[in-house]
Amino acid sequence: MIVKLLLDRKREGRELAPDEIYALVAAYTRGEVPDYQMAAFAMAVCCKGMTDAETLALTTAMRDSGDSLSWDDLPLPTADKHSTGGVGDKLSLVIQPLAAACGLGVPSLTGRGLGLTGGTADKMESIPGYVAGLSLADYRKVVAACGCSLTVQTGEIAPADKKLYALRDVTGTVPSIPLIVASILSKKLAEGAGTLVFDVKCGAGAFMKTRPEAAALAKALVAGAKGAGRKAVALVTAMDEPLGFTVGNALEVQEAIDVLKGESGQAARSPGDVVELSVELAARMVALAREMPLDEARALCRARLADGSAWTRFAEMVRLHGGDLAAFQKELDKVPPPRLVVAAANGFVAAIDAQKVAQAAFELGAGRAQATDAIDPAAGVRLLVAHGDKVSAGQPLAELYAPARPERLAVAARLAEEAISVSGDAPAARPLVLEVVE
Ligand code: URA
């Protein structure tokens, strides 16, 4: 293989053969193709795109750069949900145990967050003792025992993606649908679930800002997953406003626990959007994996949430990961009182800017700018109002928690004030699910 000739052809927009792409990725993973050539390849793909066949070849080549898990020994249909990431997105914490309680095996490798807020692994690690970094052998044992496990992805899964993503991140080559699809799908295919449900977030607080971009990614993910022999569906869902009332690691875990227990906990009320979207996404997993009509799957998910069996699965998963939920509750009780953000005028909550709320959470210590930065699990924002609520001047709108960096409260309060728009007119209701791609 002469890499320069492949680069020439890709630059001219010509199609590469699957075995050429496969050989390129394998050589890059072995360290035989330098970063500058792979960066040139990524840029050529960004500018010229890829055919479906090329995208599938890139996906399978990256999948095969590491281990692929098989769940044939698990006597259950398997499914997983992947979210492209949004503000306050704690849905995995509800969906994985809920789908497990509905009779699925849910192998779900997850990530730590780099950016404004933590990833699912960071959230789970705010539970004292919880070990997110299990070996693949221990991860398999947890899935076999309780149906689900929120474990951080190990280096054995799709190492080519890890290497290529780091390169794309610094060469302006992240925003390319074929590269994103290959990156997401290579990992999901290697994890081995038979059904994949994608939650493609769309809006100001999401990676995909516009409806056409989000729909294109959703279609490409579903086509790629089906092309690789999996059952798949994607939902394009709204991400202009945060999901639920909380943004921050321990706060989000607490909110997910409240949803699983069917309580509103410390919040004034239950986060209806988290419940609705969790049930919808879990029902899609159940319907596809168990070949059940969607309405029946929705009813089953609602029943398993209401009868406490999803909560039991979550508590068991946490115990098997070494986590201590009683200690988690004690830690929360020790957090100093929050700073309040109050309404400046009477009116209705017209919009809550997800990006600004995430920036406020970051200022408070809930995210990390570099992989080595520490996260403060207790830091974050709890909204006290939702879209469309009637509010009066002086009414508290949000609580800000920053036990480790109180000096950042003032700047976070400004961001939170800007994030919550109050207007004289009641706003229209917001749909959560914008599009379904099957
Ligand atoms: N998430 C991924 O895993 N990969 C991308 O390329 C973009 C988002």
How far apart, in whole angstroms, are the C-alpha atoms of residue 102 and residue 117?
30
Write the residue with the smallest CA distance to atom 3 of ligand 1: 184
pLDDT at 265 over 80: no
Write the residue with the smallest CA distance to atom 1 of ligand 1: 184
Nearest atom, ligand 1, residue 174 CA: 6
Share of the chain above pLDDT 70, in %: 99
**pLDDT tens digits, 365-392:** 999 888 788 899 999 999 999 999 999 9
Q: 209 CA distance to ligand 1 centroid (A)? A: 15
pLDDT at 128 over 80: yes
C-alpha distances in angstroms, 188 versus 140, 192, 208, 357? 16, 7, 19, 29
Are 3-49 and 79-328 in the same CATH fold? no
Q: What pLDDT sits at residue 268?
A: 62
In this structure, the number of other CB atoms found within 10 A of the CB of residue 158 comes to: 32
Name the pLDDT band for 118 (thresholds 50, 70, 90): confident
Q: What CATH topology corresponds to 79-328?
A: Pyrimidine Nucleoside Phosphorylase; Chain A, domain 2 (3.40.1030)
Closest CA to 269 of 102, 158, 389, 374: 389
Asked if the 3-49 domain carries CATH number 3.10.20.30, the reply is: no
Candidate of 184, 186, 201, 221 to mutate for ligand 1, largest count of ligand atoms within 8 Å of Cβ? 184
Q: What pLDDT sits at residue 367?
A: 92
Candidate of 174, 177, 189, 191 to mutate for ligand 1, largest count of ligand atoms within 8 Å of Cβ? 174
Beta pairing class for 380-383 and 339-342: unpaired
Q: Which residues are catalytic?
A: 82, 161, 168, 183, 187
How far apart, in whole angstroms, are the C-alpha atoms of residue 150 and residue 189?
17
pLDDT at 291 over 90: yes
pLDDT at 71 over 80: yes
Q: What pLDDT sits at residue 285?
A: 98
CATH number of 337-423: 3.90.1170.30
Q: What pLDDT sits at residue 207?
A: 87
Give me the mean pLDDT over the 308-321 stretch: 98
- 131: helix, coil or strand? coil
Q: 184 CA distance to ligand 1 centroid (A)? A: 5
16 DSSP assignment:
P
Complete DSSP assignment for 159-179: HHHHHHHHHHHHTT----HHH
**pLDDT tens digits, 153-188:** 888 899 999 999 999 989 999 989 999 999 999 999
**pLDDT tens digits, 203-245:** 988 989 999 999 999 999 999 999 999 999 999 999 999 999 9
Q: 120 CA distance to ligand 1 centroid (A)? A: 15
Q: What pLDDT sits at residue 172?
A: 92
In this structure, the number of other CB atoms found within 10 A of the CB of residue 31 comes to: 9
Nearest atom, ligand 1, residue 168 CA: 6
CA 9 to chain centre: 35
Q: What pLDDT sits at residue 369?
A: 83
Nearest atom, ligand 1, residue 184 CA: 3
- List all residues whose CB is within 6 A of at least one atom of ligand 1: 165, 174, 179-180, 183-184
Write the residue with the smallest CA distance to atom 8 of ligand 1: 180
Candidate of 180, 198, 213, 217 to mutate for ligand 1, largest count of ligand atoms within 8 Å of Cβ? 180
How far apart, in whole angstroms, are the C-alpha atoms of residue 66 and residue 186?
10
Please say whether the beta carbons of 161 and 63 come within 8 A.
Answer: no
Closest CA to 99 of 63, 134, 138, 150: 150
105 DSSP assignment:
B
Q: 402 CA distance to ligand 1 centroid (A)? A: 30
Q: 267 CA distance to ligand 1 centroid (A)? A: 33
Q: What pLDDT sits at residue 30?
A: 96
pLDDT at 22 over 90: yes
Nearest atom, ligand 1, residue 111 CA: 3
pLDDT at 267 over 70: no
Place of tokens 């809930």: 366
Closest CA to 118 of 238, 236, 246, 221: 246
- What is the pLDDT of the chain when averaged over all its residues? 95
CA atoms within 13 A of residue 255's CA, in its CB half-sphere: 31
pLDDT at 114 over 80: no
How far apart, in whole angstroms, are the C-alpha atoms of residue 250 and residue 366?
9
Name the pLDDT band for 266 (thresholds 50, 70, 90): low
Write the residue with the smallest CA distance to atom 7 of ligand 1: 180
How far apart, in whole angstroms, are the C-alpha atoms of residue 21 and residue 57?
6
Nearest atom, ligand 1, residue 180 CA: 6
Q: What pLDDT sits at residue 373?
A: 86
The domain spans of the chain are 3-49, 79-328, 337-423
Give me the mean pLDDT over the 183-197 stretch: 96
Number of residues assigned to the chain: 438
Write the residue with the smallest CA distance to atom 2 of ligand 1: 184
Q: 83 CA distance to ligand 1 centroid (A)? A: 10
How far apart, in whole angstroms, are the C-alpha atoms of residue 432 and residue 408?
32
